Amino acid sequence: MGINHFLALSLVVILCSCSVDIPKDEFVSYYETNCKAEKDFSGIHFFAIALTPDYEKAKWGNALDSGMRVVVGAAPRSGLTFENAILIDGSDTTEAILQRKMQTFEIGSADMFVLSFAERMDGAKLRLRNVSRGIGGVEIELKNCRNIRLKEK
């Protein structure tokens, strides 16, 4: 490998490993805007956000535990359900240990779910199995947002 190739590769590695520090008052909005993964399937708009400890700290005051939570939504609101959820990272998989539908009261808003996993799998695929209304399986590539950091005072 020539010196130019080595320098170019080094620059790519440095840029990819950079993180951004966001102040607490801007963090939740910035995170939700930049970390939402979206997919349209069978006339339904699905979205998912994998929550990091920094997000949980900014939103609720502290990280909930060592596991991982993913918020999933489907719009328009139509009473969708699914059998279970699995994170997939290569040959590694982990099933949701808790699946909870969030109550939303806005007219026309999305069906919202919070999924809890025992293990963190940043950047994994989320697979929803047996989604109702004949949709079947839905797979969403989650964004890895561990590089978005809460700016400490």
**Residue 8 belongs to a domain with what CATH number?**
2.60.40
Helices within 19-138 (DSSP H only):
24-35, 53-60
Domain extent, residue 54, equals 3-150
Output the pLDDT for position 148.
94
The pTM of the whole model exceeds 0.85: no
Q: Residues 6 or more apart from 7 whose CB is under 8 A from it?
A: none
Please say whether the beta carbons of 127 and 88 come within 8 A: yes
45: which strand partners? 40, 75
3-state secondary structure of 56: helix
Structural domains counted in the chain: 1
Output the pLDDT for position 79.
86
Pick out the chain residues at pLDDT < 50: 6-16
- Cα three-residue angle 70-73-52, rounded to 5 degrees: 20
Alpha carbon distances (Å) from 111 to 11, 12, 98, 129: 42, 39, 17, 16
